[in-house]
Amino acid sequence: MSFKKIVCLCVFSFSLSLMLCLSIGAYAYTHKGLQTIPSQIYISTTLTDDQLARTQDAMSTWNTTCFAYDHLVYAGRTNISSSPVEDDTNTITFLNSSESYLGYTYYVNKKYTFLWLNWYLEEFDMNINASKTWYTGESESDIRSIQYDFESVVLHELGHVLGLDHTDEYSYALPDGTFQDIVMYSALPSGSVVRKLSEDDRLGIVNLY
Amino acid sequence: MYFQVKLSNKWRALPKLILCLLLIVLAVLGNSCSSNIAISDYTGNVSIKVVGKQRSDHGSACLPFATEEELFSAADYIFSGKITRIQNIEIDCNGVKLYKSLIKMSVDQFLKGNYDTTDITVMAGPVGGNRSGADLLDGLKKGDYGIFMAEAVAVDTYYEENNCTWNVAELCQAMFADDDRFGFIKESGKNAECRTSKSAYSSLTSYDWESVIEYTEKMISQNELEEYK
């Protein structure tokens, strides 16, 4: 086989593998995942009991859909009312922010891999913006058009904690022609509930861990 | 004799060396002085400094989704213009750090609203990466020409973060109406680039620059009609 043919074959194989990689799904990654599993998560007393319950539901959704055992564990309440704080604990707070976000996950500590090419998440803090209007009920149908769904936003933020980045697409087409809302889409409309993981979200995590 | 000549050369080079060192020290000092932005209207411990790079790896957000109509309605100013300067800043609010960019633009034409100057500084924040791995704002650079959608910042617009407040008007005249969808950048040639999920502008079918202008004008006039009603 001539050198030219070998080069062509290499280029073709590389392009094919690249195309296959890209066609897996819409999911993308910010980091290589949690450094410590299970991750102990403290919930600030700034969250109400309803908000705590929705947060636990969101943790449970990731745990039951993607893992054989719990990766996200509720560690109890904490009095911390500031975010982010570098204190070796993962904390979820509910504080006012003038920022436009609904929820924000701070990557507080990172463990870099060889040559700083990537990193594992050692510590995170998450804030849900208290200046927005929230729905914290259990029933999905009772949300009002001006409210943002607390559980949907925590579910999205926990996706960042686990390593997922935003997707460009907001829905994922299943082979049967139906569509699922992607949790990791960058924005959530008010009055909308996205409490179930799409196949794309699940595949993103399954391929990472 | 040989040593004398060598010594003399050394002495001759010394003033130049001192001058070089002095210039380096002055440059470092000048740089560190100009890296702080002074503000006067604030409460708590607030300090603002210029940083070299936008910190898009700081965290990731979930943003409220606005429809196209809401987006065009929220923007007080929609204008075409060119980016003349980008300053990345770190705002420290009692230890909690926010990362923003101050984007100065020379305005070519106002399509909506009118600000009484040809220069406008818009504050924007990182929103986390997209599939390409880079933050949406990372792609903006000096010299970019485009259509931008911004919300006006009133004289007393106070930001609140971690028990601190500070007056945003001291830094900028406007903020992007939507962190994620700030407008369209004209690429070389005729195509426009929209740094967002394409589905966000469902009525925009082509990203050709002329189509983008047509679409923007149509959305503005629809919006004005709604407000008139």
DSSP state of B154: P
Partners of residue B166 in chain A, C-beta under 8 Å = none
Question: What average pLDDT does this structure show over B80-108?
Answer: 90
Strand-pair category, B158-161 with B164-167: antiparallel
Amino acid at B38: A
Percent of chain B residues past pLDDT 90, beyond the cut: 25
Question: What average pLDDT does this structure show over B24-52?
Answer: 76
Residue A95 and residue A57: Cα distance in Å, rounded? 20
SS3 at position B119? strand
- Residue B166 has a pLDDT of 92
Give the residue, B63 or B50, on which the prediction is more confident.
Answer: B50
Q: Return the residue of B nearest to A131 by Cα.
A: B160
Give the residue, B132 or A53, on which the prediction is more confident.
Answer: A53
**Which of the four pLDDT bands, split at 50, 70 and 90, describes residue B67?**
confident
Interface size, chain A vs chain B, as Cβ–Cβ contacts under 8 Å: 113
Please judge whether B128 and A100 are an interchain contact, meaning their C-beta atoms are less than 8 angstroms apart. Answer: no
CA distances to A24, A59, A104, B103, B153 from B108, in Å: 43, 49, 35, 15, 20
pTM of the model: 0.79
Nearest to B84, CA basis, from B46, B53, B112, B118: B118
**Do the Cβ atoms of B119 and B104 come closer than 8 Å?**
yes
Please judge whether B64 and A107 are an interchain contact, meaning their C-beta atoms are less than 8 angstroms apart. Answer: no
Residue A141 and residue A159: Cα distance in Å, rounded? 24
- Residue B33 has a pLDDT of 46
Residue B148 and residue B141: Cα distance in Å, rounded? 14
Phi and psi torsions of B51, nearest 5°: -120, 160
- Residue A21 has a pLDDT of 40
A154 in contact with B, Cβ within 8 Å: no
CA distances to A127, B25, B102 from B45, in Å: 20, 29, 21
